[in-house]
Amino acid sequence: MSTRPLFPTTRMRRLRYNSNLRDMIAETTLSTNDLVMPLFVCPGENVTNPISSMPGNAQMSVDVLVEKCKELYFMGVKSVLLFGIPEHKDLDGTCATQDHSIVQRAVRAIKEVLPNIYIIADICNCEYTSHGHCGTIIDGDVDNDLTIETLCKQAVSLAKAGVDMVAPSDMMDGRIGEMRKSLDRNGYYKTPIMSYSAKYASGFYGPFREAAESAPKFGNRATYQMDPRNSDEAVREIEMDIAEGADIVMVKPALSYLDVIYRAKHEFNMPVAAYNVSGEFSMVHAAAEKDWIDGERVMLEILTSIKRAGADIIITYHAPEVAKLLKN
């Protein structure tokens, strides 16, 4: 042994030399139990429309979607989040509230063959309005209270179709309380609400708007989604949603908002979901395609960081890729 001028007693590296030991003391573990896969359902039969900006993802007709759900379920992804591309759009998105609407049909079809897969329905009008905003427009802006009426009807209709949980993503004030009352009054008191509580007006939704055909035709969503500069505001949003009866609170997007996820987890004793959104997913794929990064490694690093920040549930388009990796 060489004599050295300095001998640190505490050597952090001691615990890093052996990979078994590294695994033993790892503080964060990703599991397929954490994952929710978002899926897009469209009209027709035997339809698979690949979404060019989201490699591996597609709009699927109900029959194809059912097969996709089987595949996911048997690879360990036990929960899906559904978005609908309806045959017709209207000014106030009421087509989202009909019992024969696209997501309602999809839910019934999936449950028929896979009763144990956990189905979450996104509750929002933006895929159903002709203008692409998340609700009814009055004087050029989304009207809060009128929109809540449509959202509540949409939630009840989806609960009736057999959905396991509803996830309102519209960001209207007071929608959680009204939705809870509507569900309860209609007998769906067992249906949890996962609220998109802190949803930011984000550039990371770009690919999704192609996928869901929901880009606003005028203006933007800044009057209802949150300003990326704020996190105290997120805490207030979360607090209000909990008071109104939210069962799970969500932060969205995830990667640029890890501090918000952290606050959500540590300031409230609530299950926290994080939405690893379309732009975050597509960036990884685009850079990996150019060989600028190791896509799998970066994907795992990102998802682990979301978990480490405090998320219990991760909604991610990477779900099937991760499930495959975790299996091996």
- Residue that is written with structure tokens 């609400």 in the block: 193
The span from the CA of 104 to the CA of 127, in Å, is 14
Residue 117 in contact with residue 124, Cβ under 8 Å? no
Kindly tell me which of 103 and 114 has the beta carbon lying closer to ligand PBG: 103
Shortest separation between residue 187's beta carbon and ligand PBG, angstroms:
27
Q: Does 37 bind ligand PBG (CB under 6 A)?
A: no
β-bridge partners, 226: 200
In the shown chain, the binding pattern of residues 159 to 178 toward ligand PBG, with x for contact by CB under 6 A and - for none, equals ----------x---------
The span from the CA of 133 to the CA of 119, in Å, is 25
- Residues contacting ligand PBG: total by CB under 6 A: 10
Which one of residues 57, 59, 147, 278 is an interface residue with ligand PBG (CB under 6 A)?
278
Shortest separation between residue 283's beta carbon and ligand PBG, angstroms:
12
Q: Does 149 bind ligand PBG (CB under 6 A)?
A: no
Cβ-proximal residue to ligand PBG, closest one: 208
- DSSP-derived secondary structure for 274-304: EEE-HHHHHHHHHHHHTTSS-HHHHHHHHHH
Shortest separation between residue 208's beta carbon and ligand PBG, angstroms:
3
Annotated catalytic residue 307: no
Which one of residues 277, 284, 299, 314 is an interface residue with ligand PBG (CB under 6 A)?
277
Pick from 168, 145, 170, 175: nearest CA to 249: 168
What is the number of H-type helices and E-type strands within the chain? 11, 12
With CB under 6 A as the contact rule, which of the stretches 92-100, 105-113, 121-129, 306-314 interacts with ligand PBG? 121-129
The span from the CA of 173 to the CA of 93, in Å, is 18
Pairing of strands 137-138, 141-142: antiparallel
Q: Does 124 bind ligand PBG (CB under 6 A)?
A: yes
Residue 248 in contact with residue 271, Cβ under 8 Å? yes
Pick from 207, 57, 106, 103: nearest CA to 48: 57
With CB under 6 A as the contact rule, which of the stretches 17-25, 72-80, 122-130, 260-268 interacts with ligand PBG? 122-130
Active-site annotation holder among 252, 265, 290, 307 = 252
Kindly tell me which of 96 and 114 has the beta carbon lying closer to ligand PBG: 96
Annotated catalytic residue 327: no
Q: Does 134 bind ligand PBG (CB under 6 A)?
A: yes
Kindly tell me which of 114 and 202 has the beta carbon lying closer to ligand PBG: 202
One-letter amino acid of 205: Y
Show contacts with ligand PBG in window 181-220 (CB under 6 A).
Answer: 205, 208-209
Pick from 87, 89, 96, 49: nearest CA to 68: 49
| Residues with a known catalytic role | 199, 252
- Interface ranges with ligand PBG (CB under 6 A): 122, 124, 126, 134, 169, 205, 208-209, 277-278
